[in-house]
Structure formats: structure tokens, C-alpha cells
């Protein structure tokens, strides 16, 4: 469970990216975090993955207060949180297999674990037949699926997808959202950050709306309000 308590993030002396934000996410939930550009959605993601520290307030993940996290603990938090961004962040000189394996290599995984895990996650995202391709040989949707596969190699408890469909057409968008739902069904909590109205309205899942750094709505089976 994620518990965010009265989080404020201030940049400079008077700009509030987030103001007094509080919310709870239960394990296994699929939550959409919506709002227009620049309303503080990505700031909240950065706080959850400890890329930034809040000005005030607390974020507790599984009983672990990550606002007090030590530098050496951050990697171990991130291995439990898969992150998918709009810009795919794939290494162009590595194949699909190598890009996914890289996430395990950098964490010191043994060869055996890599050769077992990588094909499994590539199968989940439906790219087990394109393991030897390079990113430029894939469509946008496929590239995003490689990123999702990479975020799954540590079997994360939480998957945060920050505008994962921002660069995709409607067909690829549907494929990615279906994949996120599939991942949620196998037990992973999913936090989808988006401003895609159609995606949110079709999901019929919990929707949290942020506007000007504040939560303006939190609905169980919500719709895109803004």
C-alpha cells in the first residue's frame, strides 16, 4: 500500500508543484492519475521513486517512509517499482533482449537468472519473437512494450506508467493499456499517469484528478473530468 500524507513540493520561493496532497493506494489497485500538463503528476511520480524529496509531508510505501530514505537504499526501492516513461529510454545499440537484460545486469544478477527471466517477461509483453531486433526496427508500441518488459524483470510490486501512450497511435495505445491491465491482473499495483481522456473513460477504474498541484477529485470508477 502507498500512503501519501500532506505532500507539498515547492520549487523556488513561491511555486508549488504539489500542495497538501494526500492519497492512499491499496495493493493490487489500478489507479489513473489524470490532469493537464504541468499540474504536478510527474512531480508526484518523481517523489514516489525518490528521485526528488518533498518539501513537507510523508510518503509511506509498505511501511517504509521513503521521505527519509538513505541514498544507498534508493536502488532497492526502485527494484520494487517498475517505471515506464513516454520517451522510451531504450539503448539504441542494444537489442530487445539486451535492453531488458541490462536491467538485471546492472543489479548484478547472475547469467542464469538473466537467461531465465528475460524470455519470460518478453513473452508476457508479446515480443518473444523479436528478441534480436534493435529499437529502431520496432514500432512505437513495440518499443514501449520493451520498456514495460524491462520494468517487469525485478517483479515489481508497483508499476508506474507516466504517459506511456503519449507517443502512440490509438491501436498501439490500446495494446499498451491492455498490457497494463494484464500486469495488474497478475497482482501488480498499477499507477497510470495520463491526460488521455479516452483511455481513462474506457478503463472504468479508480481515477484521481490533479489540478494546479491539488487533488480535485478521487472516484472509484471515475471518468476524466477536466
Site residues (vs other proteins, CB under 8 A): 1, 27-28, 49, 61-65, 71-80, 83, 89, 91, 102-103, 105-108, 110, 150-151, 153-155, 157-158, 186-189
CB of 190 to other proteins, least distance (A): 12
Indicate the residue among 69 and 225 with the shorter CB distance to other proteins. 69
C-alpha cell at 210: 490533479
Nearer to other proteins, 165 or 184 (CB): 184
Q: Phi and psi of 83, rounded to 5°?
A: -125, 135
CB 203 within 8 A of CB 222: no
The set of residues, in sequence order, having a beta carbon less than 8 Å from that of 205 and lying 6+ positions away, is 29, 30, 31, 32, 221, 222
- Beta strands in 80-226, from DSSP E residues, in sequence order: 81-85, 158-162, 189-194, 206-211, 214-219
Distance of closest approach, residue 157 Cβ to other proteins, in angstroms:
5
CA–CA gap between residue 118 and residue 105 (Å, rounded): 11
Smallest distance from other proteins to CB 225, Å:
28
Nearer to other proteins, 38 or 187 (CB): 187
Q: Which three cell numbers stand for residue 83?
A: 517505471
CB of 17 to other proteins, least distance (A): 19
**CA-based Rg of the chain, rounded to a whole angstrom?**
17
Asked if 148 contacts 179 with a C-beta cutoff of 8 angstroms, the reply is yes
Phi, psi of 13 (to 5 degrees): -90, -20
Q: Nearer Cβ to other proteins, position 77 or 225?
A: 77
Pairing between β-strand 2-11 and β-strand 56-61 as defined by DSSP bridges: antiparallel
Q: Which is nearer to other proteins, 113 or 133 (CB)?
A: 113
Nearest distance in Å: CB 206, other proteins: 15
Residue 2 or residue 21: which is nearer to other proteins going by CB?
A: 2
Nearest distance from C-beta of residue 107 to other proteins, angstroms: 6
Amino acid at each position: 500500500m502507498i500512503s501519501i500524507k500532506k505532500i507539498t513540493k515547492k520549487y523556488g520561493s513561491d511555486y508549488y508543484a504539489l500542495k497538501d496532497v494526500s492519497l492512499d493506494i491499496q495493493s493490487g489497485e489500478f489507479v489513473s492519475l489524470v490532469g493537464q500538463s504541468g499540474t504536478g503528476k510527474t512531480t508526484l511520480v518523481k517523489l514516489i521513486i525518490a528521485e526528488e524529496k518533498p518539501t513537507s509531508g510523508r510518503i509511506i510505501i509498505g511501511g517504509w517512509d521513503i521521505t527519509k530514505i538513505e541514498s544507498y537504499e534508493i536502488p532497492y526501492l526502485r527494484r520494487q517499482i517498475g517505471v515506464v516513461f513516454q520517451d522510451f529510454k531504450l539503448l539504441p545499440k542494444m537489442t530487445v533482449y539486451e535492453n531488458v537484460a541490462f536491467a538485471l545486469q546492472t543489479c548484478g544478477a547472475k547469467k542464469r537468472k538473466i537467461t531465465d527471466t528475460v524470455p519470460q517477461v518478453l513473452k508476457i509483453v508479446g515480443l518473444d519473437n523479436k528478441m534480436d531486433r534493435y529499437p529502431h526496427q520496432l514500432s512505437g508500441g513495440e518499443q514501449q512494450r520493451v520498456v514495460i518488459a524491462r520494468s517487469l524483470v525485478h517483479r515489481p510490486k508497483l508499476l508506474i506508467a507516466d504517459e506511456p501512450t503519449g507517443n502512440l497511435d490509438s491501436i498501439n495505445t490500446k495494446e499498451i493499456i491492455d498490457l497494463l491491465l494484464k500486469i495488474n491482473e497478475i497482482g501488480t499495483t498499477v499507477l497510470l499517469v495520463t491526460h488521455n481522456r479516452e483511455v481513462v473513460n474506457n478503463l472504468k477504474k479508480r481515477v484521481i484528478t490533479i489540478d494546479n498541484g491539488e487533488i480535485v477529485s478521487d472516484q472509484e470508477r471515475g471518468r476524466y473530468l477536466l
